[in-house]
Amino acid sequence: MKDKFITNTGVEIPLDKSGFVFVEENPRFKDSFWTNYTLPISVQYDRDFLSKFGQYSSHTNTGLKRYHEGIHLFEGKIRKGKLEIMEFRNNNLKLQIDSGFENLPNFDKKLSDLPLLEIEVTDIYEHANKIVTKKYPDTEYNFPRLYTDEYNLDDEAWKYFDSFINNRNNLESTTGEKVFPRNRVENGMDVYNKNIIHPMPYLLYVLQVGFMDAGFRLSGEILDDPYLKQRCIWSGTHYYIDAEQKEHKAAIYQEDFYETGMSTDYAAENSSAPEQGGKWKKQIRIGAPGRYRLIIDSNLNYNGQKYEGKIKISSPQIIDLQNLAEESLRNNNYHIEKVFSVSEAQALKGAEILIECSEYGVPNQEDQNGKSIGIAQIYINPMRQHTDSGVPIIYVFNENKINLKKAVPDMTFGDLVNTIKNLRNYDLEFIGNRAVMNIIKVDKTMPTVPFEEFEVPDPIRKFNDKSFFNLKFPDVEDIQTQNIFIDDQGYHMNYKNVPSDATEININVFCLPMTYFRGVYTAKAYSENALMLVYYDGLKNGDNNASNPEGLMDESLAQNLVGWYKNRLTNFSYKWKFVVPKNKIRKYNIRSEISCYNKKHWIKSWTKKSLSDTLYLVEIETETF
């Protein structure tokens, strides 16, 4: 099978001729993933190529594509690829091909755009109480209790809040068992924001969904990594929705009549009645629970006469406003008052009030300042749920649904994968439909692949270009993060005098720290632009408190990483060129661990230049271990 690129439109570009150069770098030696690529290739036009690929030879043509998706056939392997047009002239163009899967198509996709779990539940409080007894992989998410100091407990909205997200206790239980306290409004007047229910997806679940979204199944050591397996993701954002009781005011004007020309016996008896009447209706949506007072006022006076009307108030959700009889407004100014209550469930769905009225076309009226106030005025006034200064008190809704799209931080899937790669020193390799993530280890007992036949007499040898590594975690107020500095002697925690030539690797992740509050020992919630992890593996002594076992962001992590980084500082780099038949080099790949020059090597990078249909000129760079 000859090397070629085939676009999705069927255009074939041969790559087995002289001049084609393929560059590949080992992602183990980078702090991010990327695609393999070719150096720019010059392609001559012919009529068939232009008709299928695009009229790049024309100076007047528009709408030419810069990128072409397709398949890269290389060394007998099929890779997805993308071809980029670098420049074009009258007779030829230059193009570059990116291929391989180290950079997935969805790496730029936000975590919230992944197909994460969305389900309805019957009762979120009871649902959370069942889920907290489980751990991953028996559940994709959980409800660990977190302490938060975000809310002012002296505020009317939070005076009943205990400063815990996913709070669980037996203070309101009728059986003595621990439950999640419910938010409610008592007596239609007092707002009890007792709890914030916030599901947190497990890290491994989000990783699996991300790779599945790209067509791969996650496998490898990462699925059983004891430091990651029971880690949940804390988004640092508000998952709940809130609403406040609002006053509603509306005026009805003659122009609001949607049906005119009414006629009644009363009109026949009163020659001075307006000839034109009509019907109007008004729909109002209530968004917060509590008690309300509905008031409707109108004046049916016209030229000293009083006229009639009929009004109907209804609501499909609010029980207090259901089955009300139609009221007659004949010969009277009308003033109607109704007191009603809206429950949390009704407010979440949107409690609708419909007011329908038929009356004679009395002209729009004016207030004492001469301002038009229409033919009717509607007021819906909340009863009590305001502070003494008149500020509305919000109500926290814990919806009966799980939406993990709302429970992830504002970061891309690629950022998440790269963060975990750097945190635990993972490699990512694609084998068939599997995305394999294994920890990169320095194991000198592992067998290597013989590479001696490609030795040259005098390769370039040098010390590695790295002198120091500094693994840096986010700076978070009140958290003593432990950066890891590594030199040829080993690791140092929070090293103060980091040399300017140290290679810095930023790892944008931290574990929520532990804290005591009111006798509860659990993790504290933060709001940072970083991946924030929470450890939770089920109830402990009946409590859903989070924990933070050793292994991440501490000396245990340094002990796990130092072998790899120290090896990179203390071994040597080799570089040489050789000519080889294409079919002999194809059994090796960029991750092959090879033996030559009486040493074991990792391939750091190589460049393959096609000299003919059968020969490569290979330039290879390795690091010993």
**pLDDT digits over 416-444, tens only?**
999 999 999 999 988 888 999 999 988 88
Quick count: other Cβ atoms within 10 Å of Cβ 154?
Answer: 7
Q: How far apart are the first and last CA of the chain?
A: 35
**Nearest partner of 262 among 243, 277, 246, judged by Cα:** 277
Q: What is the CATH number of the domain that holds 373?
A: 2.60.120
- Cα 62 to the center of its chain, rounded Å: 38
Distances (CA, A) of 225 to 78, 422, 424, 532, 547: 31, 14, 9, 18, 17
Distance CA 315, CA 387 (A): 29
Q: Angle at the Cα of 226 (from 221 to 229), degrees rounded to 5?
A: 85
Distance CA 196, CA 165 (A): 5
Q: State the pLDDT at residue 212.
A: 97
Distance CA 396, CA 273 (A): 51
Distance CA 485, CA 94 (A): 44
Q: Is 271 within the bounds of a domain?
A: yes
User: Which tokens is 528 given?
Assistant: 């940072």
Range of the domain at 264: 246-384
Quick count: other Cβ atoms within 10 Å of Cβ 510?
Answer: 21
Q: State the pLDDT at residue 263.
A: 47
Q: Is 49 within the bounds of a domain?
A: yes
Distances (CA, A) of 315 to 196, 319, 382, 618: 30, 8, 17, 78
Q: Is 31 within the bounds of a domain?
A: yes
Q: Which of 335, 359, 384 is the last residue of a domain?
A: 384
Beta-carbon contacts of 117 under 8 Å, excluding residues fewer than 6 positions away, are 140, 141, 201, 402, 403, 404
Q: What is the CATH number of the domain that holds 27?
A: 2.30.300
Q: Is 251 within the bounds of a domain?
A: yes
Average pLDDT for consecutive 10-residue bins of the chain (625 residues)?
83 76 86 67 77 80 85 80 85 81 78 97 97 98 98 93 97 89 84 96 98 95 97 96 85 83 49 62 89 85 65 90 82 78 84 86 77 88 72 87 97 95 92 91 89 96 90 90 92 93 94 96 96 97 95 90 92 96 90 95 93 92 94
Q: State the pLDDT at residue 330.
A: 62
Q: State the pLDDT at residue 307.
A: 63
Q: Is 293 within the bounds of a domain?
A: yes
Distance CA 528, CA 368 (A): 55
Cβ burial 63-93 (10 Å sphere, 16+ → b, else e) = eeeeebebbbbbbeeebbbbbbbeebeeeeb
DSSP state of 488: T
pTM: 0.80
Instruction: Give the total residue count for the chain.
Output: 625
Q: Are 603 and 590 in contact (CB under 8 A)?
A: yes
Q: What are phi and psi of 121, to 5 degrees?
A: -125, 160
**pLDDT digits over 164-200, tens only?**
999 999 988 888 899 999 999 887 678 899 999 999 9
Q: Which of 351, 384, 417 is the last residue of a domain?
A: 384
DSSP state of 410: S
Q: Is 170 within the bounds of a domain?
A: no
Q: Is 587 within the bounds of a domain?
A: yes
Number of domains in the chain: 2
Distance CA 36, CA 26 (A): 9
Helical H runs in 330-412? 344-349
Distance CA 515, CA 523 (A): 6
Q: Which of 361, 384, 407 is the last residue of a domain?
A: 384
